[in-house]
Amino acid sequence: MNILVTGGAGYIGSHVTLSLLDKGYNVIVLDNFSNSSPKVMNRIKKISEKTLKVIQGDILDSALLATTFKEHSIDAVFHFAGLKSVAESTNQPGRYYQTNVTGTLNLCQAMITARVFNLVFSSSATVYGEKHHMPLRECYETGTATNPYGRSKYIAETILKDLAAATPQLKIAVLRYFNPIGAHPSGLIGENPSGIPNNLLPYIGKVATGQLPELCVHGSDYPTIDGTGVRDYIHVMDLAYGHVKALEALSDRSGVSIWNLGTGKGYSVLEMIEAFEKSSGCTIPFKFGSRRDGDIPASWADISKIQSELQWEPRFSLDQMMSDTWRWLTNNPWGYEQ
């Protein structure tokens, strides 16, 4: 089975590519490397001892997509290519809608023209917005995201539902990720943020490796266990395994199936600092700052739907998330550029 992975050089796409190769699928990666390094491909080949085809290109390039589908007998598409910074999306909303909405639509139109009907789509827990009780269930209302990034994912989900209603052959898995962290246990691939990270664990990593002086904990007066924000962190390899399970399930389904991908358990910022310190042996200097605009106090998933429908379970503990992150960071403090 041949699988096209858009954004396959990125953080999540690279780990899913490995899981797909491991399962015996043939993978074709399409990535413009705007937020990743081509060097990740050699790491993937090294770990998997398999080959894969890499196309440098853009999902906004409809002609390239048409050629890609014509030249390869593709059975399914995993769509990771996109922009993901909440802060950047507020300053550059047009760019975010162009890539995340128009790019997704371009891809789907090329798929339908080429009669490729299986799609696994990267969505986000951010589509739930802030109005709900925890844990978040797939049936909860969406569309109240607080920023253009979240709205771009909500619009993309809406487009996928409309396309599936009009094209009954389409089988689409929409996976709503909570907070992916960690790295492949080999220490050869992991998250490689450019610039100053916005997300918690990449920021902690830069402090641990001495590239940033201290962490600012955004808010200490939330109604949570210790006043700091609570999130549902999931190991990227558990996330990857969820994608493989979703693909396998699509053959028996039609239309759009939505699954949360989290662990169902929330940890506060202070608990995350403590867990990282325990696994790494580093001390993370931090100070308390004010709440970050748009942040919600807590977010964690109800995972009963994916557990019962896909027989998927998270397998990695918080300690493993931290020790795998630390192995990746100590082996590659400057990411792939060393």
* 269-280 vs 318-331: helix crossing angle, rounded to 10: 60
The neighbour count for residue 85, using CB atoms within 10 Å, is 18
Tell me the window of 7-15, 128-136, 252-260, 317-325 that interacts with ligand NAD (CB under 6 A).
7-15
Which residue among 3, 74, 200, 282 contacts ligand WQD (CB under 6 A)?
Answer: 200
Backbone torsions φ then ψ of 56, nearest 5 degrees: -85, 115
Which residue among 67, 186, 199, 320 contacts ligand WQD (CB under 6 A)?
Answer: 199
Got the DSSP string for 115-169?
Answer: T--EEEEEEEGGGGTT-PPSSB-TTS-----SSHHHHHHHHHHHHHHHHHHH-TT
Give the shortest CB-315-to-ligand NAD separation in angstroms.
19
Residue among 254, 246, 114 at smallest CA distance from 170: 254
Which residue among 25, 69, 80, 154 contacts ligand NAD (CB under 6 A)?
Answer: 80
CA-CA-CA-CA dihedral for 85, 196, 5, 158, to nearest 10: -10
- Residue 223, classed as helix, strand or coil, is coil
Residue among 27, 242, 266 at smallest CA distance from 122: 242
Tokens 């890499």 correspond to: 54
Residue whose C-beta lies closest to ligand NAD? 10
Residues in the chain: 338
Give the shortest CB-53-to-ligand WQD separation in angstroms.
27
Residue among 15, 6, 10 at smallest CA distance from 243: 15
Tell me the window of 133-141, 198-206, 251-259, 309-317 that interacts with ligand WQD (CB under 6 A).
198-206
Cβ contact 88:102 at 8 Å: no
Q: Which of residues 253-312 bind ligand WQD (CB under 6 A)?
A: 269, 292, 295
Question: CA 207 from chain center: how many Å?
Answer: 23
End-to-end CA distance of the chain: 35
Q: Which is nearer to ligand NAD, 58 or 220 (CB)?
A: 58
Got the DSSP string for 41-55?
Answer: HHHHHHHH----EEE
Q: Which of residues 99-118 bind ligand NAD (CB under 6 A)?
A: 99, 103
216 lines the binding site for ligand WQD (CB under 6 A): yes
Indicate which of ligand NAD, ligand WQD, none lies near residue 253 (CB less than 5 to 8 Å, by partner kind).
none
12 lines the binding site for ligand NAD (CB under 6 A): yes
Q: Which is nearer to ligand WQD, 4 or 86 (CB)?
A: 86
Count of residues engaged in binding ligand WQD, rule: CB under 6 A:
18
Instruction: Point out the catalytic residue in the list 149, 177, 233, 267.
Output: 149
Backbone torsions φ then ψ of 299, nearest 5 degrees: -155, 120
Q: Does the annotation count 149 as an active-site position?
A: yes
Tell me the window of 23-31, 96-104, 168-176, 209-217 that interacts with ligand WQD (CB under 6 A).
209-217
9 lines the binding site for ligand NAD (CB under 6 A): yes
**Where along the sequence are the contacts to ligand WQD (CB under 6 A)?**
84, 86, 124, 126, 179, 198-200, 203, 215-218, 229, 231, 269, 292, 295
Q: Which residues are catalytic?
A: 149
**Where along the sequence are the contacts to ligand NAD (CB under 6 A)?**
6-7, 9-13, 31-36, 58-60, 80-82, 84, 99, 103, 122, 124, 177, 180
